[in-house]
Amino acid sequence: MDTKLFDYLFEVDLIIKNAYIATVNSTNQIIKNGSIVINNTKIVYVGGDASKYKAKRTIDAGGALVHPGFIDNHVHLNYHSLRWLVRDGSDWNEALPIHAKYMANIDSESEKMSTSLAMLEMVKNGTTSFLEAGGIIGTDGVAEAANHIGIRAFLGDSFVRDISSGETSTVRHDKDRAYKTLGKELVRNNKENGLVQGVVTLSGMGTASDELLKYAKDLADKNSVILNMHQSYQDIDYISDRNRLGLSPMVHFAEIGVLGENCTFSHVNCIDEKEVGPILDSEMSIVWCPMASMLYGVGGTIKGSHLELFKNGLNISFGCDSANWTSAFDIGEQAFIALLTAREKTGDPSALTAEEILRIATINGSKALGKGTEFGSLEVGKRADLVVRKSSLPESLPGFDPIRDVMISSRSKSINAVVINGDIVVENGNSTKIDEDEFANEFKVYHQKLVKTLEDA
């Protein structure tokens, strides 16, 4: 059924026509040869005939798939300058000291270059929104870069903790500073329709006392935002948590009242059967980062319960993590790997479908941000965050199933245009906001200086 906000001829900013629309709404409605009408930042019409609207700009999708933008709910922007600096085959304990060395020498130029590179990569791969998971020193510079690239960003405070993790880490906060720091990014939410928003972020994984956890959850509740943190990445930190707490961590979190619908925990590769009930009862979100587990042989895609929790109704979304923990900042690639590993793990070719991983990558991602009513699906009144594909690639033909064509075959190669908040930020596969060649040359010069700085440090 066509959904209309206006019943009369109305001049609008953008019409996308001749599209195979995957709305990812509550019924997973597909509209063939459909149109999406956008005015200012919002979708005003989704349906067939859009002849009642006159647009300043029209994109003819040529029958290709149009879907909501991907949402990356776990990224560390600051380490993008270090991609593959560690030797191939190293474990994560070899990578962490290099990250720490980099963070000890970081400056505004380093953050600008690394975060801009990460965000450019994301938008070109169809990501329209991301959740920064910690490690940013100067968040104002990151916010400026996000606005420049045109991507929707959710920022929290950098690695807030009041318990030492016992590892080489980038930032340490004493207890008093942790309480003073937490929630500083929430002021960004005062700007109506701002691309950059604030959330409450803890480092997690055994680095927060019960008092800090409860303070953070209370702060998130009062400000109607999510509480985000790392949790149970691998066996060693899961066991450490369990030994310290005297019971399974998720059970403990439930008992002290810090699990809830506004909790978004990343990784959670390790859980036991006692934790399943509290997790499901809380209606929290878990961010599945398949490659961040696989690259270091953590076993999350084998031993983890992401698939089972998803099938039991839990809100699962996807995340890429950081440069040395993933192939690229490409949520479509994470989704594809999740589908393959789910089928391989279960021996069931229907374990995850292309339609399901599209849903996890879009509307589930917005729900994990507490923004399910604002974006993540193509519906009237929602923000216009979407991806227009192209269907001329060999991988897109003959075109029996456009969703499978995109999610399994063509993937990021088929990106044509990306719209965020009603603004075309990628066109013909290239950024409309920056000169990519100029940026690449600038980055190469910066990177030479960075390598010398790390060698001299």
pLDDT (tens digit, 9 = 90+) per residue, 195-250?
Answer: 999 999 999 999 999 999 999 999 999 999 999 999 999 999 999 999 999 999 99
Q: What is the pLDDT of residue 281?
A: 98
Using CA atoms, how far apart are residues 64 and 413, in angstroms rounded to an integer?
A: 13
pTM: 0.94
| Bridge partners, 288 (sequence order) | 318
Reported as type and span, the H/E element at residue 180 is: helix 175-181
For the ranges 10-14, 104-108, 244-248, 260-264, the lowest mean pLDDT is seen at: 104-108
- The three-class DSSP label of residue 17 is strand
Confidence grade of residue 174 (pLDDT, cut at 50, 70, 90): low
Check whether 339 has a pLDDT greater than 90.
yes
Contact status, residue 320 vs residue 330, Cβ threshold 8 Å: yes
Tally of residues, the chain: 457
Confidence grade of residue 449 (pLDDT, cut at 50, 70, 90): confident
CA dist list (Å): 317 to 29, 211, 290, 334, 419? 20, 28, 11, 10, 21
Mean pLDDT of 262-276: 98
Q: What is the pLDDT of residue 170?
A: 41
Q: What is the pLDDT of residue 169?
A: 43
Give the mean pLDDT of the chain.
93
Q: What is the pLDDT of residue 2?
A: 54
Type of residue at 374:
E
Check whether 8 has a pLDDT greater than 60.
no
Contact status, residue 292 vs residue 326, Cβ threshold 8 Å: yes
Contact status, residue 226 vs residue 182, Cβ threshold 8 Å: no
Type of residue at 70:
F
- The three-class DSSP label of residue 129 is strand
Q: What's the token pair of residue 383? A: 């923000």
Confidence grade of residue 103 (pLDDT, cut at 50, 70, 90): confident
Between residues 107 and 265, the one the model is more confident about: 265
CA dist list (Å): 20 to 12, 62, 260, 284, 403? 21, 9, 37, 32, 9
What are the pLDDT digits (tens) for 35-72? Answer: 999 999 999 999 999 999 999 999 999 999 999 999 99
Check whether 171 has a pLDDT greater than 50.
no
Check whether 305 has a pLDDT greater than 60.
yes
Q: What is the pLDDT of residue 457?
A: 67
Sequence-ordered list of residues with C-beta below 8 angstroms from that of 107, at least 6 positions apart, any chain: none
% of the chain with per-residue pLDDT over 90: 80
In the Cβ-directed half-sphere of 120, how many Cα atoms lie within 13 Å?
A: 21
Sequence-ordered list of residues with C-beta below 8 angstroms from that of 256, at least 6 positions apart, any chain: 210, 213, 214
Q: What is the pLDDT of residue 86?
A: 81
Domains of the chain, each with CATH number or no CATH: 3-68+376-421 (2.30.40.10), 70-368 (3.20.20.140)
Angle at 366 between CA 362 and CA 370, to 5 degrees: 165
Mean pLDDT of 173-185: 82
% of the chain with per-residue pLDDT over 70: 96
Reported as type and span, the H/E element at residue 242 is: helix 235-245
Q: What is the pLDDT of residue 398?
A: 95
